[in-house]
Structures are given as structure tokens and as C-alpha cells.
Amino acid sequence: MLATRQAPIASLLFLSGAALSSAHGSAPMPYIYGGEDAQPGDWPWVALITSVDPADSGSGPTVSAFSCSGVLIDDDHVLTAAHCFFNGANEQATEVYIAYNRVARPDTLDDYDTRAQTIYIHEQYNEFSGSDFRNDIAIIRLTHAANLSSYPQLASTADISTLEGLEGDERLNSTTALGWGDTGDTAGVTAGTLQQVMLDYVRSSDCHDKWGNTFTFDMMICADGTNPARDTCGGDSGGPLLTGDQDNPVIVGLTSFGSAVACGQPGNPGVYTNVAYYAQTTSWIDDVRNGLITPRPPRSGPPQTPRVGSSGGGGAAGLGLLWLLPLLAARRQSRRASRSAR
């Protein structure tokens, strides 16, 4: 069994409210902005990833944690964002829990489905940089297989070319984003239900105009929503951006970063890791799945300016990072037993 931690996770207060208030100067915004609750059975392969903060001492009756989203790509592997495994001091988490095939957030860590056996963070991802957000991708190898009936496909470069070629209204609602996070209805309280939202694809040239050199062609793609405003934000990090239909979904992106002004701001597209670059342009995803890559060990480096609220380069004036860091627990969850794996 998983280590027993029976205080309700849903009752935890997260630092999302404080982070958003400092960045926005206003009340917290919803994490999937303008979206809706997912329905049971719709997205069984969407994962909730909760990591025990590596700064947690391991002593006493409490534990702190932070959460992100992800997507299962086969029985044994979850695709997510690299930044999801680092706390505010850039320390890497190693005790990671995964839940899937549900739309309601688990009450305790004991209710999660499995744990991470191995975490593969892209070897060129730089957690110590305040301005380099390339290679924001990671894969979790699960301790126990998920054994779902099907999984979404990984995008090809042809899929991205198709999106880039859409004209005008064809780009509207051409993608769907999924993720876990704060609804924003009450400051800093985590949502209990998986969220979904349809977004408009933003051509890479237009995204580069907004983000300048912070946006890297090929490695990143963009999406947003207007009339009404729609977006991903905070706790959605690592969650999938999809095309196709519900029976044949294709993962084109992973939520990575966006505006520090506010979520859902017109003209400020969210930025996603381009899955096709790592699935086809390079073979990184398959290399991990086939055991050809050795997981990199946790590493240390110089202190950096916090990513939240930092400015983008080039034409990105007024833009910054809002959801690059995962949510940090402000109220600690009770621990009633050891950290033994199930």
C-alpha cells in the first residue's frame, strides 16, 4: 500500500492565491480559465501528479506537497512538464504519486493509484534559468502498470503543420486543454474536479510576436481563447493540449508557461511544449520508453531570480511566467505512517 496519509488533500490550502495576487495585484484567477468540469470516463488517461516537497524534513506528523497534471501515453509512462518536479528552491522531488482514470481529486495520498518508479527529466532542461524554458518535458515510469484500454496518440510534425495551416475561424476551438488546479472561486483552495476547455490554436509566428525570443520555434506551440476568455494556468502544468476527437485524441502540447499579468488575457497566448518535436523530430520520448536514456540525477546550481513574474525577452514586454512553478502546499497534510511503498 501507499504510505498512509489520511488528512484530506482537498482541504489543503495552496500558495496559488498568494502567487497570483502578487503577480496580478488582484484576486486569484481560475486555473483552467473559462472551462468546465470533465465528465466521468471522458479522459481516463489524464493524470494528477503530486510530489512530496524535497524540502520536507521527513520528521514530525506533517508533509508538504505540490501538484501538476500529466497524461498517460501507455501502460507504464506519464508525459508531463519538467518544471513540475522542482520546488521554489529548484530542488527536485523524488517521492511522486500519480492518480488517473478519475475526475475527482483523491482525498488522500493513500487514494492515489501508484507512485513514480523513475522520473526522466529532459537532460537539456535548465531548472536554474530564469529565461530559458526549452525542453520543458519529463516522463514518469510508473511503479505499477495502468492497464487502460487505450491511450492518446503522440503528435507528428504533420499534425503541427496542419494546425499551422489553419485559416481564420478554422483555428477556433481547434484544441482542447485538460488539467487539475484551483477554480479561483475561493482564494487558494484547490479544485476537486478535472477541468477541460476548448482553445484556439495560435500560429507560431504570431506567438513569437508576443513572446519574442522566450518562444522557441519547433520546441513550443501556443493556444488561447477569446469571446469568451479561455486559458490554462497554474495547476494545469504538464497537462495535455489535444486535437482530434474524443475517440482518437492526439497530444500536441503540454502546458508550460504563460502571462504573469493574468490568465485569459486577450493577446497573451499560453505556451505549450511541442510534443511532436520530442516524439518525431527527435526520438526522446521513445528513447525513454525503450530504456535508451538514463535518468539524470538531481543537481544543484546557483540561485536564480524566481520565474513567477519574470519578463519575457524580445517582444514579450509585459509578459511573464505564471504557471511555470507547480503549486506549493501552504498547509501541511498529516502523515500517520511511514513512507513505505505499497
Q: Which span out of 14-23, 254-263, 266-275 was modeled with the highest average pLDDT?
A: 266-275
Q: Write down the pLDDT at residue 83.
A: 94
Q: Write down the pLDDT at residue 190.
A: 57
Query: For 112-160, what is each residue's pLDDT tens digit?
Result: 999 999 999 999 999 988 788 999 999 999 999 999 999 999 999 999 9
Q: Write down the pLDDT at residue 25.
A: 26
Contacts of 43 (CB under 8 A, 6+ apart): 103, 178, 194, 196
**DSSP symbols for 223-264:** EEBTTTTBB--GGGTT-EEEEEETTEEEEEEEEEE--SS-TT
Q: Write down the pLDDT at residue 149.
A: 96
pTM for this model (two decimals): 0.81
**More confident position, 313 or 83:** 83
Contacts of 128 (CB under 8 A, 6+ apart): 90, 301, 302, 304
Query: For 192-204, what is each residue's pLDDT tens digit?
Result: 899 999 999 999 9
Find cell 488575457 and name the residue.
265
Q: Write down the pLDDT at residue 152.
A: 98
Q: Write down the pLDDT at residue 55.
A: 86
Q: Write down the pLDDT at residue 242.
A: 97
Alpha-carbon gap, residue 216 to 208, rounded angstroms: 8
Alpha-carbon gap, residue 233 to 186, rounded angstroms: 16
CATH number of the 9-334 domain: 2.40.10.10
Q: Write down the pLDDT at residue 18.
A: 24
What are the residue ranges spanned by the domains of the chain?
9-334
3-state secondary structure (DSSP) of residue 58:
coil
- Which residues is 72 bridged to in the sheet? 78
Tell me if 238 sits within 8 A of 84, measured CB to CB.
yes
Alpha-carbon gap, residue 69 to 177, rounded angstroms: 11
Find the mean pLDDT for residues 225-240: 82
Find cell 498512509 and name the residue.
4
Tell me if 220 sits within 8 A of 135, measured CB to CB.
no
Cis peptide before 228 (omega within 30 of 0): yes
* Nearest by Cα to 183 from 307, 322, 77, 28: 28
Pairing of strands 220-224, 240-245: unpaired
Q: Write down the pLDDT at residue 62.
A: 64
Percent of the chain with pLDDT over 70: 72
pLDDT tier for residue 31 given thresholds of 50, 70 and 90:
very low
Find the mean pLDDT for residues 243-262: 88
Q: Write down the pLDDT at residue 12.
A: 27
Does the pLDDT value for residue 61 go beyond 90?
no
3-state secondary structure (DSSP) of residue 217:
coil
Find the mean pLDDT for residues 316-329: 35
Buried b (16+ CB within 10 A) or exposed e, 95-119: bbbbbbbbbebbebbbbbbbbbeeb
